[in-house]
Amino acid sequence: MWLKIKKKIKTLSVSTKAFVVCAISLSVVLVLTVLFRKKGGKFWDIYNKAIEGRDKELSIIEKKHKEQIEEAEEQIEIYKKSIERIEKEASASSKELNRSYKKRVKTLVKEHAKDPKKLNVMLSKEFGINNLD
């Protein structure tokens, strides 16, 4: 008996909840229709402009993100090439590169990624390597 009552209460609460949600949704739609119908459909114009603005912002964000990824990949490539050349030079002079050298190269690459000539000068000064290109 108690289980039947419990089931009826749950069923009633779910039905009531669905009815209330539908009633509120219908009321909101009716109010919005009445409010914006008088203004000659400006609601849809405003809505479409908002959507267009959002799309423009998203495209700008995507473009900037792609540029940042390309720049980061370029810096990684420069770093790898620089470390490779420095390691070759170090092995020729029987020096071993440690973590601090690699960290310093990484910071130099980040600082001078836009100007390869200056990067080469800084790497040659820092590590005594000539003819970096």
Give the pLDDT score at 49: 84
Give the pLDDT score at 89: 73
Give the pLDDT score at 81: 82
Distance CA 82, CA 132 (A): 8
Give the pLDDT score at 1: 66
Per-residue pLDDT of the chain (133 residues; tens, 9 = 90+): 667 777 777 777 777 877 788 888 888 887 877 777 655 556 677 777 888 888 888 888 888 888 888 888 888 888 888 878 777 776 666 566 677 777 877 887 788 777 777 777 777 777 766 555 5
Give the pLDDT score at 100: 75
Following DSSP, what letter does each residue of 94-122 receive, concatenated?
Answer: T----HHHHHHHHHHHHHTTT-HHHHHHH
Distance CA 117, CA 132 (A): 9
Distance CA 17, CA 39 (A): 34
3-state helix, strand, coil in the chain (%, to 5): 85, 0, 15
Give the pLDDT score at 121: 79
Give the pLDDT score at 95: 61
pTM exceeding 0.85: no
